[in-house]
Amino acid sequence: MLHWERATVTGARSSWRGVARLEVETEDDGEVVSALAYPELTGTPEHGERVLLNTNALRRGLGTGGDALVVARLDVLPDPEIATGHMVKARYTPMQTMVDAIDDPDGEHYDTIREARGVDGMPVVVADLHSSLPAIIAGIRAQRHGARIAYVHTDGAALPAAYSRTTARLRETGLLTSVISAGQSFGGDLEAVTVHSALLGAKHVVRADVAVVIQGPGNLGTGTGWGFSGIEAAESVHAATALGGTPVAALRVSNADHRDRHRGLSHHSATTYGQATLAPAHLPVLSRNDSRYSPFHASVQEQVKTAIVAPGRERGIEHVLTEVDAKGLRDALEEMPLRLSTMGRSLGEDPEAFRYAALAGRCAATLVPRR
């Protein structure tokens, strides 16, 4: 069941592209809480308006950033733009929305996508945590400063692409060329029906040198072997392979996570690439010739060999263990125009989590085909 509450808008809070954050006072008890509205769905509620909120996650203390979600404006019907698209996203939910997708027959990019047959070797970095995105981009740009980068936002977690403040900041600063929302996800610069067509759009519409495919914020994990939303990264590897791309797996690594299953190489990466993936990918690890190489990195490399490479080989899949130099990557990470955070930990608290994502980015940049 949904937890509904009525409230009145009393002020505005810090917002970003595609998201309006509001201060609202709830009708039942007068509590002042933060609420998040998507102008694409509801328009922007004004001061004094009454709104209907979904407070499920807020009241249960779940990971939505501490915000209620605006479902409707009770006294105002927003004046919607005339929908030109035929593609419905968040289908058959009360908030389903119409979009003009790149694979929409009436869309301007339809002929391009219909005629495209592949991505011509384009490197495709896949990861399971959205927090890896800025580090991957830092790694790409440390190796290839002017690279055009497309981010494919999948529907494994947050469906609205606008929910990510990280993505908004990367777009504002020009570090990310385009956001393509795929599947049931919506709200990117471009829309696509599948990850496959999103990758075709990245190559032939955005003209990206590298594509990055990750779910949005809100990874769901259960502590079980297979019950985590990031396992969809395996399907992203398959999509890249089917289209003639070069998959690069950003390994989830930590030297600070208190949970044993995520220390060193996370069991999420071991399961995703060692058991669920049916196509080979580059597996970037720190080079043994790097001055930062330590027993921790030796242990991670051994974990990758035993938990990913060996099981893959038993199934006829030859992953490519790729040693990458980390020179300059720490500086590149520190120079990113946003605070790096993963599972609540900063770059200083869990440097290896970001270093390994950046290694994947650098690896991908070295694989960009010559034009």
Same domain, yes or no, for 60 and 116? no
Supply the CATH number for residue 114's domain. Answer: 3.40.50
Same domain, yes or no, for 174 and 60? no
Q: For residue 25, is it within any domain?
A: yes
Q: For residue 311, is it within any domain?
A: yes
**Average pLDDT score over residue span 287-309:** 96
Same domain, yes or no, for 136 and 42? no
Q: pLDDT for 147-169, tens place per residue?
A: 999 999 999 999 999 999 999 99
Task: Give the span between the Cα atoms of 276 and 265, in whole angstroms.
Answer: 16
Supply the CATH number for residue 25's domain. Answer: 2.40.50.220
Return mean pLDDT, the chain: 94
Q: Residue 63 — very low, low, confident or very high, per pLDDT cuts 50/70/90?
A: low
Task: Give the span between the Cα atoms of 337 and 166, in whole angstroms.
Answer: 10
Same domain, yes or no, for 213 and 357? yes
Same domain, yes or no, for 114 and 255? yes
pLDDT(2) > 90: no
Same domain, yes or no, for 135 and 250? yes
Same domain, yes or no, for 183 and 40? no
Q: For residue 96, is it within any domain?
A: no
Q: For residue 80, is it within any domain?
A: no
Same domain, yes or no, for 259 and 324? yes
Q: Which residue is associated with the tokens 């990245």?
A: 202
The β-bridge relationship of strands 320-324 and 282-286 is: parallel
Q: For residue 91, is it within any domain?
A: no
Is-contact 46 11, C-beta < 8 A? no
Q: For residue 97, is it within any domain?
A: no
Global pTM value: 0.95
pLDDT(39) > 80: yes
pLDDT(83) > 60: no
Same domain, yes or no, for 196 and 147? yes
3-state secondary structure 315-337: CCCCCEEEEECCCCHHHHHHCCC
Q: Which of 73, 101, 132 is the last residue of a domain?
A: 73
Kindly state the tokens that stand for 145.
């400063």
Q: Which residue is associated with the tokens 């120079």?
A: 335
Element at 197 (helix H, strand E): helix 195-204
Element at 247 (helix H, strand E): strand 246-249
Q: For residue 126, is it within any domain?
A: yes
Same domain, yes or no, for 184 and 61? no
Q: For residue 78, is it within any domain?
A: no
Split into its structural domains, the chain has a count of 2
Q: Residue 86 — very low, low, confident or very high, per pLDDT cuts 50/70/90?
A: confident
pLDDT for res 81: 63
288: three-class secondary structure by DSSP: coil
pLDDT(371) > 70: no
Q: Residue 31 — very low, low, confident or very high, per pLDDT cuts 50/70/90?
A: very high
- Domain span at 28: 4-73
Same domain, yes or no, for 19 and 146? no
Contacts of 52 (CB under 8 A, 6+ apart): 4, 5, 6, 70, 71, 72, 73, 74
Q: pLDDT for 253-293, tens place per residue?
A: 999 888 888 889 999 999 999 999 999 999 999 999 999 89
